Amino acid sequence: MTIEQFRSNEVLVTSFASLIKTNEFQIALDIVRDLGTPREVGVPDGVSFAEWNSHQNARREGYHQALDSFLALGSPLPKRRSDRDLMPSLEPEE
């Protein structure tokens, strides 16, 4: 199943959204988010500071992107706007 399929299923989204709101889930989420908090770690031998920092930042961004994607499962896909929504005076094609 893809994220689009999940988010298109109203039952799954509603069920997951109610789960996200529980105190237990929020505590667990806080713990997992804390695991992604930057920690002071020395640069390994043979690696430049810039390379190491770049790697750490990419890892952190990916970690939080994954968490955000996971939480997005609790919100339905937004309705796609049609051309007519954007330009109400648009003439229909023949």
In this prediction, residue 22 carries a pLDDT of: 96
In this prediction, residue 93 carries a pLDDT of: 63
In this prediction, residue 81 carries a pLDDT of: 73
List, for the chain, all residue ranges whose pLDDT scores fall below the cut of 70. Answer: 83-86, 90, 92-94
The string of DSSP letters for 35-94 reads: HTS----PPPTT--HHHHHHHHHHHHHHHHHHHHHHHHTTSPPPPPPPHHHH-TTPPPP-
In this prediction, residue 92 carries a pLDDT of: 66
Mind listing the pLDDT tens digit for each residue in 56-65?
Answer: 899 999 999 9
